[in-house]
Structure 1
Amino acid sequence: MMFWYDHDMGWWGYAGMGVGMVLFWGLIIVGIVALIRYTTGSPQAPRGDAPTAEQLLAARFASGEIDETQYRERLAILREAVRR
């Protein structure tokens, strides 16, 4: 009868198995996180695509949310704030 008790694996074998297990589970977790990020998309729009404050104000004026007087007042305030 053959038993597998003595397979002459030293401390390096057990250390290697421990490191291998940590790397294996680390890769699994990173893969799951990458898959979730890829499938859900980016939660924030890229910085270059974000409209400026003046564009937002112009869009509100064009949609009729604010009248011409309010548009001109707020535009002047925005431009003054930029100069500071």
Structure 2
Amino acid sequence: MTDWYGNGMGTGGWLAMIAMMTIFWGLVILAGVMIFRGSSRSRLGGNTQDRGALEILDERFARGDVHREEYEARRAALRGSAR
């Protein structure tokens, strides 16, 4: 039966097949991860354009980036402009 197929694929053929399968499955996994990360980011509101200005100001105050006086002044200004 081996005469029908010749000498088979040989070592080089098997190594090329293993390399191509590894690359293929790596790309499939990478695509799945990228799709999952993109969908979870949009679902959780990861884009700062989707969040309101008050939410961003609240986060900055919680981190300590803004002092209380500045926080209250900006919050009042944002609430005044929202009306």
TM-score (norm 1): 0.48
Higher relative contact order (CA 8 A, sep 6+): 1
TM-score (norm 2): 0.48
